[in-house]
């Protein structure tokens, strides 16, 4: 899957290494990086909601905070 902002982040990074960025480009770069980090955080949260932790006896020992988050998202299993 291609993340659109990643192409521009990489382009700005190459420009920065090649000779520098204008103030406007630095601000754009910072904004795009925050947007990208938000995307990554969302992906990690989605992945974590699908995790259940089991002990060696097969008992569900998922941390309460994660279990509550899963329940809030509609996963009642």
Q: Examine the pLDDT at 25 and tell me if it is beyond 90.
A: yes
Strand partners, 60: 54
**Radius of gyration, alpha carbons of the chain:** 19
DSSP letter for 61, please.
-
60: three-class secondary structure by DSSP: strand
Please tell me the total number of residues recorded for the chain in this structure: 77
Query: Looking at residues 38-59, what average pLDDT do you find?
Result: 91
pLDDT digits (tens, 9 = 90+) for 53-66: 999 999 999 888 88
The model's pTM is 0.68
Q: How many other CB atoms are found less than 10 A from the CB of residue 61?
A: 11
Strand partners, 54: 60
């Amino acid at each position: 899957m291609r993340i659109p902002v990643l192409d521009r982040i990489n382009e700005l990074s190459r420009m920065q290494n090649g000779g520098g960025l204008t103030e406007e480009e630095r601000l754009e770069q910072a904004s795009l990086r925050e947007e990208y980090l938000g995307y990554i955080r969302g992906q990690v949260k989605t992945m974590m909601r699908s995790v259940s932790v089991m002990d060696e006896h097969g008992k569900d020992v998922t941390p309460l905070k994660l279990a509550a988050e899963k329940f809030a998202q509609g996963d009642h299993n």
